Structure 1
Amino acid sequence: MTGSQGPSRTVTRRTVVAAVGGAGLAAVALTACGSSDDGGQSVADKSPGATGGTTGGTTGGGAAAGKEVAKTADIPEGGGKVIGDVVVTQPKPGEFKAFSSKCTHQGCAVKGISDGVINCPCHNSQFSVEDGSVKKGPATSPLPPASITVDGGSIRLA
């Protein structure tokens, strides 16, 4: 074939692989560091009846209702304990609360509870042990409440 088709350019396999890999890394970076502050909840968790504390709501992560998650003696006064998909707190003597252990900023699992706050290790958000409200961002939404019942010395998912 003759004519003016323009200069010929050869694209190597290495160039294609590098371009595709770079695009994939950019997509992962944008997803991991995006600021979609949807409360860290799935669509199913946003149901109108998702309220809680000790009276109703979600148990988080498909945990089995009725399952014992802790003994009351295991939960320190003014503090709490992360147990799987929930964090159980005792803000005042004999008062127990439960919340999702999934941070509402980026969905990381909260870890430690100290000085009346639930701490997220990923971006240092802090939440109140009393009501799950945000004490320090970057999270802007409270931890969703989880339903528990206290029967004697046993704390169970409701």
Structure 2
Amino acid sequence: MTSASFHPASGPARRTVVAAAGAAGLAVALTACGGSDDDASDASGTAAGGGEKAGAAVAATADIPEGGGKVLADRKIVVTQPTAGEFKAFSATCTHQGCAVKDVADGVIHCPCHNSTFSITDGSVRGGPATKPLPAVPITVSGDSIELA
């Protein structure tokens, strides 16, 4: 009686599958955490801030507290009101490693990933590890509406 030879089912070897899964996971992790400190635009070259067209309303002036601000995560911008009637906007992507900033309090924009903080007045770094300011996003105020310039 002869013994039958074992032939594994056709398909990629286990090592190939494990290596591919690891590479895919790394690609996702790198994308989620952003790139370098030099990233001020997305892959399409659109300025940081969601890539919307000029004139697009992003918020109502009443929604932005004086001395504070509001993160508009869906638009990837943060709008601030440093003093009464003065509105500023910045990219909501931290310049340290590309995390999204989370909130605005006590005159600073806060990134939760590594605790970088930025000024609500000009986006400058108030506390690291970030070393570059948040890029400004041009806006205009039209009546009670804040729009992209």
User: TM-score band, normalised by the shorter chain?
Assistant: 0.7 to 0.9
- Distance change (3 Å), C-alpha of 1:154 and 1:17: closer
Which residue, 117, 137, 142 being the options, matches 1:146?
A: 137
Q: Percent identity?
A: 58
- Counting matched residue pairs gives 134
d(CA) in 1 for partners of 2:16, 2:61: 59
- Distance change (3 Å), C-alpha of 1:38 and 1:93: same
Amino acid at match of 1:41: S
Q: Which residue of structure 2 lines up, in the alignment, with residue 110 of structure 1?
A: 101
d(CA) in 2 for partners of 1:109, 1:14: 37
State yes or no: 1:92 paired with 2:83. yes
Answer whether contact 2:36 2:95 (CA < 8 A) is retained.
Answer: no
State yes or no: 1:62 paired with 2:51. yes
CA RMSD of aligned residues (A): 2.8
d(CA) in 1 for partners of 2:64, 2:146: 10
5 Å-filtered alignment, 1:10-21, equals 13-18=13-18, 20-21=19-20
Structure 2-normalised TM-score? 0.74
State yes or no: 1:36 paired with 2:27. no
Answer whether contact 1:100 1:144 (CA < 8 A) is retained.
Answer: yes
Q: Which residue of structure 2 lines up, in the alignment, with residue 124 of structure 1?
A: 115
